[in-house]
Amino acid sequence: MIDLRVKGMFFDRPRVQRAVDRGKRKALSKGGAFIRQRARRSIRKRKRSSRPGQPPSSHTGLLRRFILFGYDRQRDSVVVGPVGFRRSTAPSVLEFGGRTAVEWRRRGRRRGKRVVRIAPRPYMRPALEKEKSNLPAVWRHSVRASG
C-alpha cells in the first residue's frame, strides 16, 4: 500500500499562514491610514460652519486631529474614526445628524444651554467611498515569501 501525503510536500503551512497574516495586517493598516487621511483632509479649519451635506468645519482642529485608525486583532479588521471625545456626541451628530446641547453666549458670558438640531455633515462615509477604489491596490502583492 502506498500512502501519499501531498499537502505536506508542497507547503510549509505555518510559514504560509504567517505570511498571509502579516500581509493582511499590513494591507488593513494601510487601508485604514488612507481612509483616515482622506477624512482628515476633507475637514477644513475655518470659523464658519459648513453647509449640510458637506464635511464639517473644524473650528479648533480637534476633530481632524482625533480621527485615528487601529487594527483589531480579535475581529481581524481595521477601525477608522474619531476617538477621545469624552461624553461628547459631536462626531456622531456631525456624521449622521441629530440633536445636541450647545452653550450659547452673549457678550462673552455664558448664558446657558439649549438643544439644537444638526443636519448631517458626513465625513467618514465619503472618505471610505472615495478610497474604496484604491483598496484593491493595497492588497496586491500583500503576501510575500520571507526569505
- For residue 145, being part of any structural domain is answered with no
Residue ranges of E strands in 25-145: 44-45, 57-58, 67-72, 77-82, 98-106, 109-118
Residue ranges of E strands in the chain: 44-45, 57-58, 67-72, 77-82, 98-106, 109-118
Domain limits at 52? 12-138
What burial letters (b/e) apply to 61-72, b meaning 16+ CB within 10 Å?
A: eebbeebebeee
Q: What pLDDT score was predicted for residue 13?
A: 80
- For residue 146, being part of any structural domain is answered with no
- For residue 143, being part of any structural domain is answered with no
Please list the rounded mean pLDDT of every run of 10 residues in the chain (147 residues): 58 82 93 96 92 93 93 92 86 93 78 90 96 93 73
- For residue 38, being part of any structural domain is answered with yes
Counting the structural domains of the chain, the total is: 1
- For residue 3, being part of any structural domain is answered with no
Q: Please name the amino acid found at residue 80.
A: V
- For residue 72, being part of any structural domain is answered with yes
- For residue 41, being part of any structural domain is answered with yes
- For residue 23, being part of any structural domain is answered with yes
Q: What pLDDT score was predicted for residue 18?
A: 87
Long-range contacts of 41-45 (CB under 8 A, 24+ apart): 42/123, 42/126, 42/127, 43/67, 43/123
Specify the pTM. 0.81
